[in-house]
Amino acid sequence: MSQVDTSWVEIDREALAANARAFLGLCGAGTRLLAVVKANAYGHGLVESAKVFLQAGASWLGVNSLLEARTLREAGLRAPIYIMGHVLPETFPELVTLGDCRLVVYRRDVLEALSREAVKAGRPPVPVHLKLETGNNRQGVGPEEALGLAAAAKALPGVVLEGISSHYADIEDTTDHSFARQQLAAFIETDRVMRDAELGAPIRHFSNSAAAMLWPETRFELIRPGISLYGMWPSKETYVSALVHGVRPLNLRPALTWKARIAQVKTVPAGQFVGYGRSFRTTHDSRIAVLPVGYYEGYDRSLGNSAGVLVEGRFAPVRGRVCMNMVMVDVTDIPEAREGGVAVLLGESRGPDGGVQRISAENLAEWAGTINYEVTTRINEQIPRVFL
């Protein structure tokens, strides 16, 4: 509970740790856990979440950007960091000096620039991981180019070929995993060709949350889960796939609760409009609560007239459009709703009768026409994260 913030996010530390331990339980002796903490740890708070995962036994941290890597180092975290996103060669001096950061590579010129910078700085070689194209057509190079890049990485000073990786295109959106199987086969084949040419890399990694949970054969030396470390299933399809394939679903615990203080409660007579565009009209005398959260804070505009929040353990539907920094909800049937009270936008709320209601990231995603990933990552970073 925050005394001075109009809106805040509470994170259940133990839930994050339990989720990390669940993934560690999937790792055999030769497999380590890289905790993906990009996007402000999927909205949960980068530094604190990273600390919890490391304490629970994660070996590496995965980020998108140099900025995120810098933030972790400035907070005193010393674990190996894998940077998965695009880093501009202009910023390699910093990458090299941050220490123990490794970079995904898929371009020869970038690899050469990194080599030059590491040599110039007189630092230990920077580990690099080749990204293999296996069907996602995002970052990555095909088998031919991979051999050339691997050879360059082995020959150049200042860099060392530490890993090869790829990323599934279609594993959480379907229960039909034939395409993902093809990707895995392509990865294994390229790895074999590289090893035969003595251009292999010691660490192979391919698994996001869904793959790590469903397929032991894709865990290799390192798994890279993100979403499920935060207690969310990548999708319904992933859960169904686990059941269909006889995999016991992990006991994932959602960790995030988003709360806001009720700014005003007002009586609105029947026939009045609520909010911009007059998109909602009361059919009866109503009590409307104003909440200090809008689309700037990450409460998506598409939630207007479709979502709801919890007040005192009961559901209060959103009325009218979501504004930039405010949203109105209907508390007509919640007499306990009062100014200064707490509304739960995401998470659990307990009523006066002890009953608990829950709004999940999946509920919000469905109302907004998106996915749970987007719901939590877009909660504005300026909103305080309170670790409990």
Catalog residues that contact ligand PLP under the rule CB under 6 A: 36, 84, 167, 208-209, 224-227, 234
β 101-105/81-83 pair status: parallel
* Least distance CB 76 / ligand PLP (angstroms): 24
Catalytic residue, candidates 42, 276, 296, 299: 276
Q: 42-77 as b/e, with b when 16 or more CB fall inside 10 Å?
A: bbbbbbbbbbbbbebbbbbbbbbbbebbbbbbeeeb
Element (H, E) at 268: strand 264-268
Q: Please say if 299 is a catalytic residue.
A: no
Nearest alpha carbon to residue 82 among 55, 63, 107, 57: 63
Task: Tell me the CA distances in angstroms from 248 to 14, 22, 26, 252, one per residue in order.
Answer: 22, 12, 11, 12
Tell me the HSE value of 104 on the side-chain side, using a 13 A CA sphere: 24
* Least distance CB 388 / ligand PLP (angstroms): 23
Taking the least distance from each CB to ligand PLP, the nearer of 82 and 295 is: 82
Residues 6+ apart with CB under 8 A from 267: 285, 286, 287, 288
Nearest alpha carbon to residue 287 among 331, 328, 319, 327: 331
* Least distance CB 226 / ligand PLP (angstroms): 3
Q: Which residue's C-beta sits nearest to ligand PLP?
A: 226
- Distance between CA atoms of 151 and 145, rounded to whole angstroms? 10
CB 289 within 8 A of CB 311: yes
* Least distance CB 143 / ligand PLP (angstroms): 19
- Distance between CA atoms of 118 and 140, rounded to whole angstroms? 23
Nearest alpha carbon to residue 107 among 73, 135, 149, 68: 149
Task: Tell me the CA distances in angstroms from 380 to 7, 8, 42, 44, 88, one per residue in order.
Answer: 11, 10, 11, 10, 25
Q: Please say if 38 is a catalytic residue.
A: yes
* Least distance CB 28 / ligand PLP (angstroms): 19
* Least distance CB 93 / ligand PLP (angstroms): 25
Catalytic residue, candidates 38, 51, 131, 259: 38
CB 365 within 8 A of CB 371: yes
Taking the least distance from each CB to ligand PLP, the nearer of 190 and 286 is: 190
The secondary structure of 32-76 as a DSSP string is EEEEE-HHHHHTT-HHHHHHHHHHHT--EEEESSHHHHHHHHHTT
DSSP code at position 216 = G
The secondary structure of 139-161 as a DSSP string is S-B-HHHHHHHHHHHHHSTTEEE
CB 340 within 8 A of CB 262: yes
List residues with catalytic annotation.
38, 276
